[in-house]
A and B are shown apart, each in its own frame.
Chain A
Amino acid sequence: FTKPLPTDERERWLLAERYLRRYYGMQPGLLGKSKSSDVMAEKIRVMQSFFKLEITGKLDDDTLEVMNKARCGVLDVGEYN
């Protein structure tokens, strides 16, 4: 139940950004180039830790493959308003 992984770098980044906002409470909006990539890397680590993936903070295929799977819409970690 996995859609084909996007090959384009920007598409991969957008998929990950949407995923981390929705399920890991990553704040939307511009944080400035360097800051946003730090925040993103940190959220990727949290997600990799949850799914017992290798914790790299990078968008490797393993990580993207999990992000691309059909799933529940409730957050995995973070505040529930």
Chain B
Amino acid sequence: LFPQKPKWKNTVVTFRITNYTPDLKKEDVDKAIHNALRTWSLVTPLRFKRLREGNADIMISFGRGEHGDHNPFDGPDGLLAHAYPPGLGIGGDTHFDEDETWTKDSHAYNLFLVAAHEFGHALGMAHSNDPGSLMFPVYSYAKGFPLSEDDIKGIQELYGPNPDHEKFKPKPEAPNKCDPELSIDAVTELRGETLIFKDGYFWRLHPQFTEPELTLIHSIWPQLPKKINAAYENLEKDLVIIFSGIRMWALNGYTLVAGYPKYIHTLGLPKSIRKIDAAVHIRDTGKTLLFTDEEYWSYNEQSATMDQGYPRSIKDDFPGMQERDGDEVDEVDAATYKNGYLYLYHENLQYEYSYNRRKVTRIMRANELLHC
């Protein structure tokens, strides 16, 4: 919240759209503004009343460069919009940079999402440093209801909950990479980077950068489901395959390959298999290992067929994976391969399996991968 927590005293807040962007049809701007305000009225007692003339609490306008408030915009990209905390005069007013391209889809920049963020300010919200919250200062595209737990907690501290609406399911909280109990959903290489998936997010690890970058999956790939089960890179084909449930997608770089999703059974898996827990491509052999429950399969990328003699038992072929209480591990959450070692992730641990010595050589915390 802003210092001194400014807020509207009246739960009916007026707004007026004083001009329009030529990037969108008027009705699309009206709809984006309406839905952006509704985002906040759904979780508070606030109601918004539209004025067509005179002075409203929230005056909405599109302008470029110096646009009358001595707080100039900066041309395309960079600064997209700003809004003022609740108060008299300019308080609550919301300005959009006309030098941006305003859209109603995932192309830059989605007016609904930016407006919902700015109206957060116009109602008294400051910036959040939770990358999954709407009030995070950096723009990212995401589908679905945009408020996170953090956003809802903030706005309800000012205005209380919406007496008429059941509790809204907010977006998941961003995972904490150094939580010692952190387990991961999937991990893959991608052209030299490492992508680590967890809930609706992924960390992007770049060899030159020390800090993993956390991003919402939907802000990069709106078409992918929220929960990723497994992923692997086939360097020869320059493809990353992403698995969720019985479907799989292909990425070429950061671009989704047309013709996907496909069913995992097209790889030759029986219909009884409903999800792949982990996947890893072993470059030295050209085989891709697919882990499902207590077993794993070997897929020959060259011939695009399943190898004979599978599935095999994980416990039998990868001895030495043990829980802290001594139980043998027989399932895998994620897997990667590097320099002759297979890294198998289970809950908050990772097991380094040596192909040469045919045994587990090290056990580490899963988030050691995230420099924790």
Contact = CB atoms under 8 A, between A and B. Distances in A.
Interface of A: 1, 3, 22-23, 50-54, 61-62, 66, 69-76, 79-80
A74 B137 contact: yes
Given A1-B109, A80-B2, A73 B71 contact: yes
B108 A73 contact: no
24 contacts: A22-B79, A23-B137, A50-B127, A50-B129, A52-B211, A53-B211, A54-B210, A61-B208, A62-B213, A69-B138, A70-B80, A71-B139, A72-B114, A73-B81, A73-B82, A73-B97, A74-B82, A74-B83, A74-B126, A74-B137, A76-B127, A76-B137, A80-B2, A80-B85
Contacts of A1: 77, 108-109, 139-140
Contacts of A74: 82-83, 121, 126-127, 137
**Which DSSP category, helix, strand, loop or mixed, fits chain A's interface?**
loop
Contacts of B82: 72-74
Given A54-B211, A72-B79, A72-B118, 14 more contacts: A1-B108, A1-B109, A3-B77, A23-B137, A52-B211, A54-B210, A70-B80, A70-B138, A72-B80, A72-B127, A73-B71, A74-B82, A74-B121, A74-B137
A22 B71 CA distance: 9
Interface residues of B, number: 31
A52 B82 CA distance: 23
B112 interface: no
A70 B80 CA distance: 7
Interface in B128-186: 129, 137-140
Nearest to A56: B210
Contacts of A75: 127
Pairs A-B, 5 closest by C-beta atoms: A73-B82, A70-B139, A73-B79, A69-B138, A71-B137
B92 to A, nearest CB: 13
Contacts, number: 71
Nearest to A3: B77
In this complex, the member of A1, A51, A70, A80 whose beta carbon has the largest number of chain B beta carbons within 10 angstroms is A70
A49 to B, nearest CB: 9
Interface of B, secondary structure class, is loop
A28 B361 CA distance: 57
B109 A70 contact: yes
B83 A62 contact: no
A57 B82 CA distance: 27
B326 interface: no
B73 interface: yes
A23 B58 CA distance: 22
A26 B126 CA distance: 18
B32 to A, nearest CB: 16
Given A62-B209, A62-B210, A66-B138, A71 B109 contact: no
B117 interface: yes
A53 B129 CA distance: 11
B68 interface: no
